[in-house]
A = this chain, B = another copy of it.
Amino acid sequence: MASTIKDVAKKANVSIATVSRILNGQKGYSSNTKGRVLEVIEELGYHPNAVARGLISKRTHTIGVLFPYLSGSLVTDLLRGIEKAASAKGSSVIVCHTESDEEKTMKYLQLLGEKRVDGIIYTSQFLKEEHYQFLNKINVPIVLLSSKSDKFPIPYVKVDDFKAAYSATEYLINKGHVNIGMLSGSEKDRIAGKPRMDGFLKALESNNLPLDKKNIIDTGGFGFDKGAVGFEKLLKVNHGVTAVFAASDELAIGAMFAAYQRGISVPDEISIIGYDNINYANLSVPALTTVQQPFVEMGEMAGNMILDMLETNTIPKSQIVQHEIIERLSVKERS
């Protein structure tokens, strides 16, 4: 149905080679024929077939992005950044939803491999050995976003979770708090779980505060609900907490909700600091003090990284991006 390069060649009385040259901005034709060809292209509404192009050029101008889950502003922010970088250079992005499932992830990697995507961005997920092996075999550029791998030499873009957790905790300490609890998400999460826990612990230690493991509630997840029940648990094991560091904003907001229901005032009785700076953090009551990760920029960086790898055929340096503490109203000086 759609017209091909042949059609325009025929109608313009030139060879397909000439048309191709004009299309790709090469030299080797009179401005006369160029004009004629361009006209015909217009008439026919011809658009080159990217599939055929991809077959011969071995570049599909498509990158694949793997997300463990498809919800929350984290995803849209990262995606927006990635899409921006990609579309700026004429590439598009395929979104895959792995659900943190090993087999699904593998299936998607194979699919992306078969589609000959130019690169893959592996987001918010730990890179398993077999996945790495596969990616290595099909030899496609890859970058880790909001994740990293100690074992494999893959470039990544992320904030230093340990450091960010450290400074969040220290922020609380500097406000005079000494009895501090943590809602830690899931310790099994090697990206967002463990490092933040360690940062929390380290901050206490560096400031000569007692480390009491029971003050760390492994909520088993990062969602609203987990925050509410985690907060209840924390209260049960420690009556005297005056401040809480939550490993995610949803956790923090869930905790504030639980506090509200029990008539505990935030920040007057208990201060809470979150992690992420999701949109809603600005609208919660009280507005949530939190650690910000620049997700849009991170996505853009990751996208550009992949694109650079393709052009320069070299492995870029990993990027540790800076977090920032957004001061709002959920943390207060201890009186």
Contacts and interface: CB of A to CB of B under 8 A. Distances in A.
Interface of A: 1-2, 45, 47-52, 54-55, 60, 62, 64, 70-73, 75-77, 79-80, 83-84, 87, 90, 92-97, 108, 110-116, 137-139, 224, 253-254, 257, 260, 279-280, 282-285
Most chain B beta carbons < 10 A, residue from A73, A92, A260, A282: A92
Contacts of A2: 138-139
Contact of A282 (B50, B52, B224): B224
A112 B1 CA distance: 16
A97 B70 contact: no
B49 A114 contact: yes
Contacts of A95: 79, 83, 92-95
Copies in the complex: 2
Contacts of A83: 70, 95-97
9 contacts: A47-B113, A49-B114, A55-B55, A70-B83, A72-B279, A75-B76, A83-B97, A280-B280, A285-B285
Contacts of A257: 283, 285
Nearest to A110: B47
B73 A71 contact: yes
Given A51-B116, A115-B51, A139 B283 contact: no
B84 A92 contact: no
Given A94-B93, A114-B49, A77 B87 contact: no
Most chain B beta carbons < 10 A, residue from A48, A51, A92, A280: A51
B70 A80 contact: yes
Most chain B beta carbons < 10 A, residue from A76, A87, A224, A254: A76
